Amino acid sequence: MQGIEKSFPGVKALRGVDLTLRSGEVLALLGENGAGKSTLIKMLGGAHQPDQGSIRICGQPVNLSSPISAISAGIGVIYQEFNLVPRLSAWENIFLGRERSSGFVERNTERRRAKELFEQIGVPVPVDTPCGELSIAQQQLVEIAKALSQDARLIVMDEPSAAITPQEVERLFHIIRDLKSRGIGVIYISHRLDEIFNISDRVVVLRDGQLAGEGETRSLTRQQMIEWMVGREIQNEFPKIRHTRNQIRLSVRNLNRGSMVRDVSFDIRAGEVLGMTGLIGAGRTETARLVFGADRFESGQIALDGRPLQIRSPRDAIRNGICLLTEDRKGQGLILTSSVRENFGLPNIKDFARFGFVNQTKERLAFSKYVDQLQIKIPNQEQLARNLSGGNQQKVVLAKWLERNAEVLIFDEPTRGIDVGAKYEIYLLINELAKQGKAILMISSELPEVIGMSDRILVMHEGKITGEIEDATTATQEQIMEMAVA
Amino acid sequence: MNNAITRFLGTNPLVRDYGMSFVLLLLVVLFSALTLKQQHPTGADAGRQVADLILERNNKPRVVVVTRNTPEDIEFSNAAVKRLEENGARVLATVRGAAPDAKQAIEAALKSGEAIDAIAANDVTAKWTVYDRFPEVGSGKCVVPRSYTWPDFLKVSNLLGVANQTAIYAIIAIGMTMVIITSGIDLSVGSLVALASVCVSILLRDWFGGLSAGVAAVLIASTASIAVCAAAGAFNGFMITAFRIPPFIVTLGMMMMASGLSFKLSMGQSIPELPSSFFWLGRGHIFGVPNPILLMLALYVIAHVVMSRMVLGRYIYAIGGNEEAARLSGVPVKRVQLAVYTICGALAGLGGIVLTSQLSAGDPKFGLMYELEVIAAVVVGGTSLMGGQGKIFGTLIGAFIIAVIKNGMNLTDVDPFNQKIVLGAVLMIAVLLDTLRRKKGHR
């Protein structure tokens, strides 16, 4: 790729980016959200076209005007949101749109081919199960098989590790090394620097649509990459400050719901950050949803400051000073079609309203306080939420809960898909909230984050709490993993 | 090319927010141009104008006023006579009828020895040939109002007529807009129009003495009928929120039930026994503007305030934009949905009352296919069927775009079958624009 430029209305997403990938090379593409990574790979996938610049494969200029032309050029892009039809089986998805023959599906041939592909990858995936019922990791494998079946010479993976467990990541790396040995080039996008060191040969860092740095992975340090990404120095990835923990604020006893949450009990003290981790599907998010009233629990008690609470809906929880920052920002955290101001105002609207009329001046004033404090980058408050980068979206969600001045804050994967700079700011904010004596439950799959930011750690497995580490400073990743697979 | 269009639609704020008003304006200009023609005024103003013209030419003239026997001509005649007599003219005769009547009157006037200085006529009566039979009169003595060039479409009477007919659709479309913004749909509004119409007329006929019912009775009966429709809407909302049945199905069921009920209550008959005070709403006017139009405008202003300034409006947009996110932000999703369907039902009921008042009878056949007209108005007005986006005044513009196209086609003699085809195409274009706009919004 040479001299790629792309503008969207109001934004220059890419300004003259060059990128080369040799066959059999794993190239890590790094950058904060909004740096232009997604735009770049969407061009490779044929979803966007560059305004300027050219793309060449083996020296031949190619015109990637549509997803189909990208496929035939030998480029397979695995987006964060998979392109799978949930109701169709793995083999049907692999061959979707490329069914051979004259209108009839060659069921047996396709099934056999699909099985062969999974054998090549080295992981058995049930080929007849509808993709919607497969785990995220399995769906990812279906996507990889799909790319392989199209004879891809270049596979792009956009944050493939974001939603899968450490073991699954390990297996994915195994597959990537295998692809590499077959001469397939891989572009690997991730925010997790550990992975970058583990898997990539070369690193390219984008910042503000430009190349910020490039180099052999071996010769680079973590520090160097982060500096390229943020454009300034960061001393400490996890700026944890420990506060004296006081009396118990939130107390959860024997919470149950089906097989996802079984007999879960825990306390959070004032000024404490309780880290909660475990594998995907261990019941962490489900527990959080029960405490917040998003789902109803079958049995159990929740008390705040010793006072038992009746929580039947999120409204009840919010009224009682509990709030939840959901893991799925776009699906559950924001109204993407509304302005950021309206998103901010939603749970707080009664504070700005009299006789049912919203005082927008008051609302705007309250929000602008957070825009400054959290450094939310928006041209104005009427900006639609969907136009913001992940980090800024998360800050809007944070602002709306901070305005509630809640006593218990549940953060479910607060830094997922967020760039290093914004991550750091969120950590500082968590410190500040703890200092104010709030009770904080931080759910995260990123073990360094859990260890680095929590006071105490709970580990869940199959709906139960299987381990507790009283002092997070003593925790190791191995210790946590052991509890998580218990 | 496609790209250029989507970019234009998506980014230009003028086009995004007011695109449909441009379309409406364009249509108005188009139909004005197509219906431009020579206008011959009649009515009171024209009468006074003719009188003044005659008075300018003659001192104390002796005049015969000749018009047809139509309401407008009678106004013309009365005004002319009044103005002439006030200024010292003598009106020898006033003719209201056909050419032979004019002949008789002129003969009688001449026989009694009077000379005729002028004949006050309008463009139709001036063309009669009777005047030339009398050498002492002649068609040269006819004075007619000045004609001018003006589009039929832009005549005040036509515009008020269009607005008056649209008012009912537009009123119902307010509720529909709210429902669609929550990403729901309400198919029952047409049947609720019929139900309200039948309810109010049966209440007035059987409980309040029909033709002799008083104003209080009219108010009670109307309110009760609207309440019945609101209850039907609330029932829709209840089924949708409590059992999570898709709105399409629930309201389809209500559409059939309400229609069946109105036929049953009225035994399939139209009910004309309504008191005259009931007609004020649909047929009265204030300062020359028909009441349905005033009602419509008032409701739109209220709805606009609700949707843009009030908590309820904020909640409605939030639910349509992302129901789960709204719920997790503490929005009382079910209560809001219930409220929205109730409002939609009530407004359909109000539409039924206005229609009954306009047409002077209750009828179970009223409101047929209204739901589709109303949904079309909402969609043309730029509200997305996906929910979360749309503007109340957009709907008003949408309703008027449809009404103007219909009226314009009537005035330009497009046959009714072609009219349907055009309206269908308009609806599709509106949705196409919405889709293109949406495409650009994502990236």
Structure confidence at residue A6 as a pLDDT band (50, 70, 90): low
Interchain pair A331, B389: CB under 8 A: no
Residues of chain B contacting residue A313, judged by C-beta atoms under 8 Å apart: 327
Which of B120-124, B221-225, B282-286, B336-340 is least confident?
B120-124
Residue in chain B closest to A386 (alpha carbons) equals: B442
Predicted pLDDT of residue A131: 82
> CB-CB: which of A294, A319, A349 is closest to B311?
A349
Query: Is residue A424 a part of any domain in this protein?
Result: yes
- pTM for this model (two decimals): 0.76
Cβ-defined contact of B328 to A346 (cutoff 8 Å): no
- Give me the number of domains chain B comprises: 2
Q: Point out the least confidently predicted range of A41-50, A425-434, B212-221, B275-284.
A: A41-50
Average pLDDT of span A384-410: 89
Polymer length of chain B = 443
Q: Which of A333-337, B63-67, B250-254, B326-330 has the highest mean pLDDT?
A: B250-254
Q: Is A317 exposed, middle or buried (0-12, 13-18, 19+ CB in 10 A)?
A: buried
User: Read out DSSP for A363-380?
Assistant: HHHHHHHHHHHTT---S-
> What band does A462 get if pLDDT is binned at 50, 70 and 90?
confident
* Residue B318 C-alpha, separation from nearest chain A C-alpha, in angstroms: 6
**CA-closest candidate to residue B399, choices B179, B232, B175, B153:** B175
A162 and A257 assigned to the same domain: no
Out of A126-130, A245-249, B39-43, B408-412, the most confident range is: B408-412
Q: Tell me the two tokens of residue B323.
A: 């129901």
- Per the prediction, chain B carries an average pLDDT of 87
- Whether residue B35 lies inside any domain: the answer is no
Same domain, yes or no: B117 and B221: no
- A64/A475 Cα distance (integer angstroms): 49
Residue A273 backbone dihedrals phi, psi, to 5 degrees: -105, 110
Show the tokens assigned to B440: 């650009």
**C-beta atoms of B311 and A353 within 8 A:** yes
> Is B172 domain-assigned?
yes
Residues 348-387 of A with CB under 8 A from B: 349-350, 353, 356-358, 360, 384, 386
Question: How confident is residue A110, by pLDDT bands cut at 50, 70 and 90?
Answer: confident
Asked if the model's pLDDT at residue A2 lies above 70, the reply is no
Domain boundary among the residues A167, A198, A230 is at A230
Contact flag B311-A346 (C-beta cutoff 8 Å): no
Is the Cβ pair B7, A324 closer than 8 Å? Answer: no
C-beta neighbour count of B416 within 10 angstroms: 9
Whether A219 is in a domain gets the answer: yes
In a domain, residue B2? The reply is: no
Q: Is residue B24 part of a domain?
A: no
Tell me: do A219 and A146 sit in the same domain.
yes
Q: Where are the beta strands (DSSP E) in B285-427?
A: 285-286, 289-290
Asked if the Cβ–Cβ distance from B309 to A360 is below 8 Å, we say yes
**DSSP string of A117-152, one letter each residue:** HHHHHT----TTSBGGGS-HHHHHHHHHHHHHHTT-
Of B111, B146, B181, which closes a domain? B146
Q: Is the pLDDT of residue B369 over 80?
A: yes
> E strands along B160-318, which residues?
285-286, 289-290
- Distance separating alpha carbons of residues A331 and A285, to the nearest angstrom: 14
Rounded Cα gap, residues B318 and B324, in angstroms: 9
Question: Which of the listed ranges A332-336, A371-375, A401-405, B173-177 does the model predict with the highest average pLDDT?
Answer: B173-177
User: Count of domains in chain A?
Assistant: 2
A344 touches chain B (CB under 8 A): no
Note the Cα B28 to chain centre separation in Å: 16
Q: What is the CATH number of the domain that holds B337?
A: 1.10.3470
Chain B residues in contact with A357 by the CB 8 A cut-off are 309-311
Q: Is the same domain home to A150 and A186? A: yes
Tell me the average pLDDT across A396-414. Answer: 91
Domain that holds residue B125: 44-146
| H/E element, B223 | helix B215-243
Q: What is the pLDDT of residue A4?
A: 61
Residues B149, B154, B155, B157, Cα dihedral to 10°: 170
* 3-class secondary structure, B269: coil
Q: Could you tell me if A85 lies within 8 Å of chain B, comparing CB atoms?
A: no
Query: What's the confidence (pLDDT) of residue B318?
Result: 94
Residue B26 lies in a domain: no
Interface of B with A in 349-388 (CB under 8 A): 388
Q: Which residue has the higher pLDDT, B12 or A437?
A: A437
Distance from CA of B176 to the nearest CA of A (A): 20
Judge if B389 and B408 occupy the same domain: yes
Proportion of chain B above pLDDT 90, given as a percent:
44
Of B146, B167, B197, the residue that ends a domain is B146
Q: How much is the pLDDT for B7?
A: 56
CB contact under 8 A, A332 and B7: no
CA distances from B289 to B284, B285, B294, B428 (A): 8, 5, 7, 33
A194 and A56 part of one domain: yes
Instruction: Compute the distance between CA of residue A471 and CA of residue B182 in angstroms, rounded to an integer.
Output: 48
CB atoms within 10 A of CB A467: 19
Domain boundary among B146, B169, B187: B146
Q: What is the pLDDT of residues A32-51, one digit of tens each?
A: 666 778 788 888 888 888 78
Residues B175 and B136 in one domain: no
Q: Are residues A353 and A272 part of one domain?
A: yes
CB pairs under 8 A between A and B: 84
| Same domain assignment for residues A307 and A259 | yes
Q: Are B184 and B167 in contact (CB under 8 A)?
A: no
A335 with B312: Cβ contact below 8 A: no
Give the type of residue at B22.
Answer: F
User: Starting from the edge strand earliest in sequence, which strands make up the sheet with B118-120, in order?
Assistant: B90-96, B62-67, B118-120, B142-143
Q: Given this model, what pLDDT does residue B443 score?
A: 35
φ and ψ at residue A277, rounded to 5 degrees = -140, -175
Mutate to test the interface with A, among B328, B384, B437, B440 (most CBs of A within 10 A): B328
**A59-63, A473-477, B189-193, B378-382: least confident range:** A59-63
The answer, yes or no, to whether residue B354 has pLDDT greater than 60, is yes
With a cut of 60, say whether residue A3 has pLDDT above it: no
CA quadruple A335, A340, A342, A343: dihedral positive or negative?
Answer: positive
Nearest to A346 among B10, B329, B441 (CB): B329
Q: Is the pLDDT confidence value at B278 over 80?
A: yes
Given a cut of 80, is residue B380 above it in pLDDT? yes
Contact B325 A334 (CB under 8 A): yes
Q: Which residue of B has its CA nearest to A339?
A: B318
Q: Tell me the nearest-neighbour CA distance from B7 into chain A, angstroms.
A: 8
The pLDDT of residue B438 is 65
C-alpha A272/C-alpha A247 separation (Å) is 10
Do B318 and A331 count as a contact with CB atoms less than 8 A apart? Answer: no
Whether A337 sits inside 8 A of B321 (CB atoms) is: yes
Confidence of residue B180 (pLDDT cuts 50, 70, 90): very high
Q: Are residues B121 and B181 in the same domain?
A: no
Between A234-238, A258-262, B110-114, B348-352, the lowest mean confidence (pLDDT) is in A234-238
Residues with Cβ < 8 Å from B360, sequence gap 6 or more? B272, B274, B279, B283
**Six-digit token pair at A171?**
């297996």
Q: What's the average model confidence in pLDDT over B337-343?
A: 97
First to last CA, chain B: 18
Q: Which chain B residues are closer than 8 Å to A360 by Cβ?
A: 309
**Which residues, listed in sequence order, are joined to residue A275 by a DSSP beta bridge?**
A442, A457
The pLDDT value recorded for residue B2 is 54
Domain end position, chosen among A202, A230, A258 = A230
In a domain, B22, yes or no: no
Mean pLDDT to the nearest integer, A464-471 = 90
Q: Which of B311, B320, B440 sits opposite A356 (nearest CB)?
A: B311
Q: Which residue has the tokens 């997803």?
A: A67
ipTM confidence = 0.76
Whether residue B39 is contained in a domain is answered as: no
Burial, A299: exposed, middle or buried (Cβ in 10 Å; 0-12, 13-18, 19+)? exposed
Mean pLDDT, chain A, whole residue set: 84
| Average confidence (pLDDT) over A12-21 | 77
Average pLDDT over residues B60-82: 84
Contact at CB, B325 and A386, closer than 8 angstroms: no
**What is the reported pLDDT for A170?**
84
- At position A154, the amino acid (one-letter code) is L
Q: Choose the weakest-confidence range: A2-6, A134-138, A340-344, A459-463.
A: A2-6
DSSP state of A339: B
State how far the Cα of A386 lies from the Cα of A79, in Å rounded to an integer.
18
Q: Which domain covers residue A36, as residue numbers?
A: 2-230
Whether B212 and B243 share a structural domain: yes
